[in-house]
Amino acid sequence: MDTRRTELTDPRTGRARGTAPLSREPEVAAAVAAARAALPAWSAATPKDRARRLDRLAALIEENAARYAARERAGTGKPESETAGEIEQVADLFRFYATAARTRTAPAAGRLVEGHESWVRWEPVGVVGVIVPWNYPLLMAAWRCAPALAAGNTVVAKPAETTPDTLELLAEHAARALGEGVLRSLPGDRTTGRLLVESPVDMIAFTGSGAAGRDVVARVGTRRTSLELGGNAPALVLPDAPEDTYAALAEAATYNAGQSCAAPARVITLTGNYAETVRRLTAAMAARTAGRDFGPLNNADQAARYDRLVASSGARLDAAGPLDLAPGEEAGHWRPARLLADLPHDDPTITEEVFGPLLTVQHADTVDAAVALANSVPQALAASVWTTGLSTGLDLVSRLDAGETWVNCHLVQTAELPHGGRGSSGHGTDLSTLALHEYQRPRTVTVRLTGARP
């Protein structure tokens, strides 16, 4: 057994907080074999039985919410106000998919060919390898694992190297509620992830960076993948935007320290409204205090990347908000809310996903030009429009290249609504009943009726 371990760091203080295993070939093989062994019984269970067990898992999450919150906070530094809401969402997701598994729909069935009866069965893909990032360690695991399990698959889930804590606990509770081997946690680093991708799993569901996603695709070959590869979301702010637009954007941009793939990143407004937008967003971002309203960046590598992008920016206006740190947190990965304006359209903080508590502001002379700016980056995950004109807002939503769009709000999500990207943001669907089909495959069955000609 390989006993190599990695050191875990508290992002609030920058200090070591423990260690975690680095799984290698023996551990990966054992986890996949356990999932394969558990597959026949789990996939053969009726939707009612799977639903009952998933509901029990949701109850265990709720009963142990304080333990989950403590682990999530240790790995991410999130404030309690964020962890409490996310754990509630996780329990809700497992309950949602417990019900969704019993209300499936199928394509056409019936006597579609003379003398024959046909129908379609939706079957699980098999063993699903899930790889999730560090920004939402438990929530992203639930987004992937809940529909995969509800669809009848077994899962081997690899958390990010820096945040193995909550997925380990989820796997413990899954063993009690679902059965041994149905959901396994596989802690480790990038090497662990590559080993899982190359192992004999039937599908890989990956959430992470674009570069890592391309590496996954190269290794997976013809097996199925579901990829969510980040975003760089525009927010179109028109002159008639609602009064609360600026505070709402600042809150969404700093939630989870801006480490959300769908977070607003690029504010685009009209030239005549530019100065007012910059003024009001500067004030709104300054009102968001790191250490009080949001947490730190997750790890030293991400903090260094963020600093490089900010340092390389050609912005002539750089406004940063305050920090309010507790004693001992001075060496943590804290970054203030920041607004950059008066910058070129090819600035690296515009063309790349910054993944931090930062907003850029651009302007265009016409609405058409503003839409072109919004669609000018390869990522196409999410976008928002801010206007009191409902017709205008709905028209612009249809013109934005994004898988999820909002009008006069941002980051509003629920289990019933699908989330997924386009372009370099990947493909596939998280959330909603549509996500069940990510982890299923159709089988057409046709039967010749008695006496019919062959």
Q: What residues are labeled active site?
A: 228, 261
| Nearest CA-CA partner of 259 in 385, 144, 358 | 358
| Nearest CA-CA partner of 393 in 379, 410, 376, 380 | 410
In sequence order, the β-bridge partners of residue 378 are: none
AA identity, residue 67: R
Q: Rounded to the nearest 5 degrees, what angle is found at the Cα of 198, between the Cα atoms of 193 and 199?
A: 95
